[in-house]
Amino acid sequence: MKSTIAKSTDSAANAHATSSGHFPHLRLRRLRGSAEIRSMLQETHLRKEQLIYPLFITEAAGIKKPISSMPGIHQQSIDAALFEIEEVAGLGLTSVILFGIPDEKDPEARGAWSENGVVQTATRQIKERFPNIVVVADTCLCEYMSHGHCGVVADGQVLNDPSLAVLAKTAVSQAQAGADLIAPSDMMDGRVAAFRAALDAHGYEHVPIMAYSAKFASSMYGPFREAAESAPSFGDRTAYQMNPANAREAMREIELDIQEGADIVMIKPALPYLDLIREARTLFKLPIAAYNVSGEYAMVKAASQKGWLDERRVVTEILTSIKRAGADLIITYHAKDMAGWLS
Ligand code: PBG
Ligand code: ZN
């Protein structure tokens, strides 16, 4: 009796499968038949509010210098950056991330944390002119250190704990200048906790931290280092940035940053690490950012300029794939182009 019931249930399931679960009854192409139907059923969408546009800010005035490996991107002084932000806002973008290029670099990274540092001054002016633009401050020391490393160096080593105080001081000075979001990109251990404590102690408990949590020692930062003039003068960053082969360790980095108080976690670069964006999306509830880095941009630009790829279609596909993998926010040099195409 028992087995009869089981058998009839099985055959009912089979009958159902043959009537609707398989070709020729089932045809997925039915939902691809027209542009309208395809559009109705699109699962992933890009939104301008989720794209963050990077700016490289120099001192002095009247400067707008193209970066050869990043067509369309410039080093520029604050006055020129304000013009570009007007354009950025006109395109419907709502946020920028700032990188500073100081005139003087030194072993204490003074330019990173001084009240009149280039990022602090730019932040004040941007917030004054464009209060609705979300200003993200990248917090690192490499652009300001004479040796180009992301932390304090002694005897050829990048020291972890002594770097924390300098980084935290930088974060506080950025918040003081009006930055809406603080984004530590140095990869020192314990920096999120140090930032949170320092921000809270100075009355910036409302300022969120977007941590570059899983930041890899990637081959794709080359054009950025030209743009930010931040290449290390000796060695490389493999003793603090992550090994590109390590997925479990990436989840540990993210988990620790969450425990230390990160509000948003980031994975960087984006395209070669889509698997980790997806895994983080599954494991964690926080918003996830992905950094579509300079090398990813340069590859697309170079191939497009040669006529080998259709730039608009490639960029749309790449940014959509980053969102589909699970990113909420995307930092991308394509933001202005994409915003134009989304209009
Ligand atoms: C520096 C920093 C880097 C990037 C963002 N912040 C470069 C590096 O680690 O050398 C890379 C961004 C890009 O390539 O677009 N901490
Ligand atoms: Zn750095």
Per-residue pLDDT, 18: 54
* Model confidence band, residue 16 (pLDDT cutoffs 50, 70, 90): low
- Pocket flag, ligand 1, residue 158 (CB < 6 Å): no
What is the spatial distance between Cα 145 and Cα 153, in angstroms, rounded to a whole number? 9
Portion of the chain with pLDDT greater than 70, in percent: 94
Two tokens at 104? Answer: 């003087």
Per-residue pLDDT, 85: 98
**117, 77 contact by CB (below 8 A):** no
Over the stretch 238-260, which tens digit does the pLDDT of each residue have? 999 999 999 999 999 999 999 99
* Model confidence band, residue 10 (pLDDT cutoffs 50, 70, 90): low
What is the spatial distance between Cα 98 and Cα 183, in angstroms, rounded to a whole number? 10
Q: Which ligand is nearest to the CA of 221?
A: 1
- Pocket flag, ligand 1, residue 69 (CB < 6 Å): no
- Domain residues of the chain, as ranges? 43-342
pTM: 0.94
Over the stretch 267-313, which tens digit does the pLDDT of each residue have? 999 999 999 999 999 999 999 999 999 999 999 999 999 999 999 99
Average pLDDT on 155-181 reads: 97
Portion of the chain with pLDDT greater than 90, in percent: 93
Average pLDDT on 164-168 reads: 98
Question: Looking at the annotation, which residues are catalytic?
Answer: 215, 268
CATH class of 43-342: alpha beta
Residue 1 confidence (pLDDT) above 60:
no
* Model confidence band, residue 110 (pLDDT cutoffs 50, 70, 90): very high
* Model confidence band, residue 20 (pLDDT cutoffs 50, 70, 90): confident
Residue 11 confidence (pLDDT) above 60:
no
Of ligand 1's listed atoms, the one at least distance from the Cα of 331 is 15
Q: Which ligand is nearest to the CA of 142?
A: 2
Nearest CA to ligand 1 atom 7: 221
Of ligand 1's listed atoms, the one at least distance from the Cα of 292 is 15
Count other C-beta atoms under 10 Å from residue 163's C-beta: 26
- Pocket flag, ligand 1, residue 185 (CB < 6 Å): yes
Residue of 99, 185, 271, 294 with the most ligand 1 atoms within 8 Å of its CB, for mutation:
185
Per-residue pLDDT, 61: 96
What is the spatial distance between Cα 254 and Cα 261, in angstroms, rounded to a whole number? 11
Average pLDDT on 321-332 reads: 98
Q: DSSP characters for 72-129?
A: T-EEEEHHHHHHHHHHHHHTT--EEEEEEE-S--BTT-HHHH-TT-HHHHHHHHHHHH
Per-residue pLDDT, 4: 46
